[in-house]
Structure 1
Amino acid sequence: EMEVKKSRFIGYATHVDSWPDAQRVLQDIKNKHPKARHWCIGYQGGADPVNERSSDDGEPSGTAGAPIIAAIRAEALSDTLCVVVRYFGGIKLGTGGLIRAYGGAARLVLKDAPVIICLPRSSVTLTVDASYVGVIYDTIGKVGGAVIEEAYGADGSLTVTLTCETNQVDRFESGLKDATSGIVSFHCRS
């Protein structure tokens, strides 16, 4: 929180999974501050392509949302919503003053926000003789994978769908081919 010429600027920053998620968080903040004059936002989501949204919420164009987005970019964050709430103090700040106040409040809250490092993950589906179940789960553990689904077939086969970090997929597939003498078959990889 910061005060500029009797106006209070309160910043919030959080991880969000999507724009609808960001809208829900914004509504929660509005409910928490019903007497505020403005609830300005910057949102950046996704990686390729990046989805950016901002709102000046009644402030002059470019004086609130743009500096908030700039603060998010400066921290190299994604999947982030930053909201700056303003309680008007009766003194107009002018264009430069608003840009400094909204950008400053955003930088302040983002500087102290916890960062979650998210690595890209891929999904892999494979089928192998069920006798290799131990080898499969051992290899999944070695690459930090997580099983999403498994199914045993009437023919004694085992089909497993898992996720692991994208940079571990080749290691996983290579390890399983070696462990099963190449009889494992991979159905899809995304």
Structure 2
Amino acid sequence: MSATVASLVVLCLGAAACGGRPMPELTWTASTTPSAAAAQDKYVEVFPGCQEIAGKVPGLPPLLKGSDVPAGADRDVRCEFAPPPTGPFVTVQLFSWHSDPNDPRYRADVGRGRHLARERFATNTDPADDGVIPDLGFGEQAKWQRPGNGDGCYLTVLDANAVFLLQYSILGGTRLDPKSEQCRGPLRALAKPVYDAVQPR
């Protein structure tokens, strides 16, 4: 093909020259996939202190001691309630983790806080698991646990980016079967008031 003919073909393809219709202008729209919404932490403030919990939860024994020094979590509260030398001994532990939207190690729709809370709930085997609780009525998941020495019982609750661990036993040498209602009953009765007492304002 001569240079002249080639030039003519290019011109004819370009517009209304040579009696043809102009070619439609092609446009492209970038395809976008909506990103997952970033997870929002439920527990973002510090937990109430042990004195405040004691004042909000009827039925707890007197406060023996408390601590809010983090131990394995971003926020951590541990309260012990007991009327020594004998009587019910109740421990309340609260753990929470915060999310960082810029941390690439965690899915945005779960977040660091919920991921670590779920991990703690699933992998905490000391105390040992002793059965799930399908109908507790609050929190996302819950399970019974028992300490290594088999004395007393634990109730562990997962809720968003937090884990609550409650323990019940008897001081003074009385041993409780971890699966008995004598142990689980008082703990179950205290769990919901404790949960309500630490809810975000």
Bin the TM-score by the shorter chain.
Answer: 0.3 to 0.5
Give me the TM-score of the superposition, normalised by structure 1: 0.32
Q: Which has the higher contact order (CA 8 A, sep 6+)?
A: 1
Larger strand share, 1 or 2: 1
Looking at CA atoms only, which structure, 1 or 2, has the larger radius of gyration?
Answer: 2
Give me the TM-score of the superposition, normalised by structure 2: 0.31
